[in-house]
Amino acid sequence: MTQAGPSADLCLKCNICTAACPVAAVTDRFPGPKAVGPQLQRFRSPRHIAPEGSVEWCSGCGTCSSVCPHGVAVAEINIQAKARLRALDPPSLRDQMIARPELLGRLARPMAPIANLLTHSKPSRWLLERTLHISRHAALPRFARRTLRQRNPSRIASSPPRVADRKRPLLAYFHGCSANYYEPELGETAIAVLDALGFEVVLPPQRCCGLPLQSNGLFEPARAYAQSNIRSLRPFAEADLPIVGTSTSCTLALKHDYRAILGLEGDEVDLVAESTFDIFEFLSFRHPSFHNETDFAPVSARALYHAPCQLRSHGIGAPALEALRRIPALHVVESSAACCGIAGTYGVKQEKYDVARAVGAPLFAQAAAEAVDFIITDSETCRWWISEHTRLPAFHPIEILARSMGLA
């Protein structure tokens, strides 16, 4: 696993990362990932200069690391620089709040209808913008009254079931905050698909993956979440259970960020990382009969598929797109945009909203030009953001697959 610090020495200042950066292309406030990343990394130590403020405009999309021909962990360097800034300049109340979706979901769930009204009415959004600087135009999720775990108590497993008790191949579902507190229907759809394909799905103990905290430079609480997840998931990985997720950002955190950004080390960290799969990565590469034996019914529609930035950082291609193209009558247009713009909590912030919208503008324009019926993308925040700006419904690819399998 590439570590961010030493890799800065590999930078040849070719500026390929800057040319590919979706944020640098739309604003002068961000000079580019190379300039604020590997170029200045050698000066970042307690005895030298602190990180410059312009690194705050990095969205953390990971495009720079993906395109670097020399293997420099550019995005990881910039995220670590953000953490140093937060150590020098404490985070705002807003950043503390939006970086904790699990806490927000847990607090709002008992009064979900009221919480949804307060977070989506025009007066409330105006007040949130004036007081906390949360853009009144940004898409915010709705809280569910019952979580995925509350809806599926029989699937909750504190430890892996004994081998003798397993009637079918077993896997552990890492649902993350979104599928638990905000989109439990998506989690149930994923479980239904996996059940239909012959798997027994259990819900292991888990916390927020910590990525929102990490993205806002709050590394210590992010590490606490990460260490909790490693402890909870380790027994399932040791029992040779695949850990499968529907959120590309959550699975990327488990596979990559805990080690390369938060600096966690150890056999248990590696084991959990190597046992974690995006759901379509798992179906395509670990379940070969998925493509050969699954019957797909027609879904008559025209859709735009957008591969989220986090999915591209997995380095697995676009397995969901390959599966979607096997569904009869479904015409899928592939997004040509580098990023939708939201980047987790980035586009929610008032001062960054216009930049995030400009980054996503090519995607929104393509959706209109292609006259699609709906959007398909693997990331929850991408779905909410794209739907808000295109006025089109947005679905996770597993939902379209379920429709084709007669499970929706």
Interval 337-370: pLDDT, tens: 989 999 999 999 999 999 999 999 999 999 999 9
Average pLDDT over residues 259-276: 96
- pLDDT surpasses 90 at 8: no
Model pTM score: 0.92
Q: How buried is residue 320: exposed, middle or buried, by Cβ count under 10 Å (0-12/13-18/19+)?
A: buried
How far apart (Å, rounded) are the C-alpha atoms in residues 354 and 370? 24
What is the predicted pLDDT for the residue at 212?
96
CA distance 338 to 358: 12
Average pLDDT over residues 290-310: 90
**What pLDDT, on a 0 to 100 scale, did the predictor assign at position 320?**
95
Average pLDDT score over residue span 73-99:
90
Residue 46 pLDDT class (50, 70, 90 cuts): low
What average pLDDT does range 63-67 have in this prediction? 92
Q: Which two tokens stand for residue 43?
A: 């000066």
Q: What beta strand segments (E) does 144-261 contain?
A: 170-174, 200-202, 243-245
Alpha carbon distance, N-terminus to C-terminus of the chain:
39
pLDDT of 165 reads: 67
pLDDT for 3 equals 47
**DSSP three-state, residue 227:** helix
CB 308, CB 382: distance < 8 Å: yes
- Residues 242-261: tens digit of each pLDDT: 999 999 999 999 999 999 99
Q: What is the pLDDT of residue 48?
A: 52
Mean pLDDT value across the chain: 92
CATH 1.10.1060.10 fits 4-88, yes or no: yes
| Residue-level pLDDT at 38 | 81
Q: Compute φ and ψ for 218, nearest 5 degrees.
A: -95, 75
Alpha-carbon separation of residue 103 from 303, 319, 335 (angstroms):
34, 32, 33
Tokens in use for 13? 């200042």
Q: Is 63 left (phi over 0), alpha (psi -120 to 50) or beta?
A: alpha
Give the separation between CA 404 and CA 384, rounded to whole angstroms.
23
**Residue 223 has which token pair?**
């590490």
Q: In this structure, what token pair is assigned to residue 388?
A: 């808000």
User: Domain extents for the chain?
Assistant: 4-88
- Comparing 397 with 292, the larger pLDDT belongs to 397
pLDDT band at 1 (very low <50, low <70, confident <90, very high): very low
Which one-letter amino acid corresponds to residue 10? L
Residue 202's DSSP bridge partners are 172
Residue among 249, 231, 203, 210 nearest 61 (CA):
249
Of 35-44, 45-54, 216-225, 362-371, least confident by mean pLDDT is 45-54
Task: Write down the pLDDT at residue 90.
Answer: 86
